[in-house]
Amino acid sequence: MTAPVIAVDGLGFAYPDGTAALDGIDLHVHRGERIALLGPNGAGKTTLVLHLNGIHMPQQGTIGVSGLRLDGDSVMEIRRRVGIVFQDPDDQLFMTTVREDVEFGPRNLGLTGDELSRRVDSALAAVEVDDLADRPPSHLSFGQKRRVAIAGVLAMDPEIIILDEPTSNLDPASRRELSATLQGLDVTQMIVTHDLLYALELCERTVILDRGAIVADGPTRELLADNDLLERHRLALPAGVRLE
């Protein structure tokens, strides 16, 4: 097996009031995987994700991204390698036009001219919003905004994309379109979601986190068919849906 693109070993983290958020997390993610990260509210999912691109720094254990260990010297490069698409795209869109928003990250990396244009055009095309390049983000639908937010992350040429609740506030058509977009991206993905059916649709592997610890890691269908496991960790499929 190839070396992991994300290697989390013994990760522990507590907030200033002493609340333990993560306790001995071991997680390896390999190139090309699309993984679902599931867990009830307060399980530690967001805290884990914020460690993966250096917004939080490990208090215990280590994090590596493609062999580069996360520390004060490497944090900026790791933030380029690991892009996060937040739940609310308005948290990421603030420029006058879509193109300017997607340009923002690579321009801050020092890209200019033809290389900047190529990077932005490629990102817009990858999520099929190139026809929106000159539109103000404020005039877009929620689903379009989410695609533009993904394009902004792709323009940074990341090795891993983390998506936080990507289906929230999407209508069924936008949900299907986003699914097709994510399946078409040639990049390692981690999808943080409460939407178990979306996890089943997109991800062969699922990790379940609860009370700051990984309680299950395996094939998505197998884990979601384990009703006792789901019940123990306050997860549930939609009413009437039962996997065999």
Instruction: Indicate which CATH number applies to the domain containing 168.
Output: 3.40.50.300
Q: Is there a contact between 23 and 15 (Cβ–Cβ < 8 Å)?
A: no
Expressed as residue numbers, the domain containing 224 is 6-232
In a domain, 43, yes or no: yes
In a domain, 160, yes or no: yes
In a domain, 239, yes or no: no
Q: Is there a contact between 174 and 148 (Cβ–Cβ < 8 Å)?
A: no
In a domain, 101, yes or no: yes
**Cα atoms in the Cβ-side hemisphere of radius 13 Å centred on 38:** 31
In a domain, 242, yes or no: no
Chain segment 192-217, per-residue pLDDT in tens: 999 999 999 999 999 999 999 999 99
DSSP string covering 2-66: PPPSEEEEEEEEE-TTS-EEEEEEEEEE-TT-EEEEE--TTSSHHHHHHHHTTSS--SEEEEEET
Number of domains composing the chain: 1
This prediction has a pTM of 0.92
In a domain, 238, yes or no: no
Chain segment 76-103, per-residue pLDDT in tens: 999 999 999 998 888 888 898 999 999 9
Chain segment 161-181, per-residue pLDDT in tens: 999 999 888 888 888 888 998
Opening angle at CA 201, ends 196 and 207, nearest 5: 50
